Amino acid sequence: MTDRHLNFIGGQWVPAADGRTFESRNPAHPDEVIGVFQRSGTADVDRAMAAALAARRGWAATPAPERGLILGRVAELLEQRREDIARMITREMGKVCAESAGFDTQAAINTARVMMGEGRRLLGQTVPSELRDKFAMVVREPLGVVGAITPCNLPVLLPAWKLFPALWCGNTVVFKPAEDTPMVGTLLVQLLADAGVPPGVVNMLTGYGHEIGDRFVTDPALDMISFTGSETVGRRIAGLAGAELKKVSLELGSKNAVVVMDDAEFDLALEGCLWSAFGTSGQRCTAGSRIVVHEAIHDRFVEALTERARAIRIGDGLEPGVQMGPLVNQKQLDRVQGYIDIGQGEGARLLTGGGSLQGAMGGGFFHDATVFADVTSDMRIAQEEIFGPVVSVMKATSFDHAIDLANSTRYGLSFGIYSADVNRVFAAMSRLESGVINVNAPTMGVEIGVPFGGVKNSGNGLCESGTVSVDEFTELKSIMVDCSGLHRRTGVNEAATEGKGG
């Protein structure tokens, strides 16, 4: 009998109000049902938001160091359960188990540890006052109720990037995991409860974004929404939340480029481009889906890249030696196939791949590693996010041309350059239009201690990860204390009248 899993509201596991459910399946073996989950409706959203609202004052009043200690226990439990969680990530999302454990889960552990330490550093400011016997300071306070909507590709790390700092800052949370990875979301929420997060502080709803997303964003109890996903959905969220004057944090699409110059360490660049393009089957916002290669090494590099792409072992991510798993669902497989047709129709040269392996691999949503050459910047495959194992190679005639090609999209999330010339590297660091720059390293991933976010259409300016999370999940309160005991003019700044201030 298939396990049935519930929503988590107010510290209790509860069914959806209308009793509807949906199934989560293994993308490598679609006949395998992972579990049955609640197909939440608007009534469930209201109930979860109300629980978070009721818990907000008590959690905000909990000392920040105590909140940090709970996140320390979260790190310990994640460490203890890492292998089980990693295997579930692979079963439910498809990526190879080494990625599930070595990056996704481990990075979430690291995030919890960083937030534990920051529990004693929720810093404000003291400011010199314009007046005698007056004290001025700035303190940080939680926003209130935070909504977190996350995608399927990093089903532990991306919730950790949102939930852990939001909790550290004293907010309560309503969390909606991707409909493709509800089991991983359930495991994470159970872990938070086991670590001692009080009832109502974290609440979880499973279901479909198109059914509950609008109510989720506009619910009167919600103060802030943090979303990672497509540009199209991000724009809708921004519009709905903006009309309600709610704070919004968006991490959206990408079309990342890796620049490979003629003086690059050839093998290092090749390995980095392979991982950037085909890690997680290309289903990463940091995927290097465009490679801009200097003409002096272009043909040699393309030949080596094509040979290595053909050799990638594809299969069930739980099997030893598998390097690339399936796409997450049929819709994504169809999307990738559609872009193969688009690329060929635009005149790009298909060097390897380009086909679904679904029929040959037991019905799983597998697609081979695909390389296009002779790609120009005006082609759709060079401009639109495919979110699959497809890489477009573009030829550059000079360093300046390479930078222009890299910048020739509306996105700017995670770019890279391979070069041994320090002058070129520093010029690229300045000129590449991207929130993250990788030098002689893959575009995939980011250090936990530094901010992560994009420019242009890749986000709205707020960053996740690292200590800047405090800016995302708090608001500032300025406090002035007059300790002179003197009566001052009402409604007039005394210093200003004396020419000392504004």
Structure tokens at 236: 């809708």
Cβ contacts of 331 within 8 Å, gap of 6 or more: none
Check if the beta carbon of residue 325 is closer than 8 Å to that of residue 90.
Answer: yes
152 is catalytic: no
Structure tokens at 114: 């960083």
Amino acid of residue 475: E
Pairing of strands 257-260, 290-294: parallel
CB atoms within 10 A of CB 441: 16
251 is catalytic: yes
CA 396, 421, 432: angle at the middle one, nearest 5? Answer: 55
Check if the beta carbon of residue 144 is closer than 8 Å to that of residue 223.
Answer: yes
CA 419 distance to own-chain centroid: 28
Check if the beta carbon of residue 453 is closer than 8 Å to that of residue 463.
Answer: yes
CB atoms within 10 A of CB 145: 28
Q: Which helix (H) or strand (E) holds 238?
A: helix 231-243
d(CA 277, CA 389): 6
**Given 97, 152, 169, 285, which residue is catalytic?**
285
Check if the beta carbon of residue 222 is closer than 8 Å to that of residue 145.
Answer: yes
Residue 359 Ramachandran class (φ > 0 left, ψ -120 to 50 alpha, else beta): alpha
**Given 99, 118, 179, 251, which residue is catalytic?**
251
Beta partners for 38? 21
User: Which contacts qualify for 304-308: CB closer than 8 Å, 24 or more apart?
Assistant: 304/266, 304/270, 305/270, 305/273, 305/274, 305/371, 305/391, 305/393, 306/351, 306/352, 306/371, 308/270, 308/274
314 φ, ψ to 5°?
-110, 140
Dihedral sign, CA of 322, 328, 331, 337? Answer: negative
Specify the DSSP class assigned to residue 359: G
Specify the DSSP class assigned to residue 361: G
Catalytic residues: 251, 285
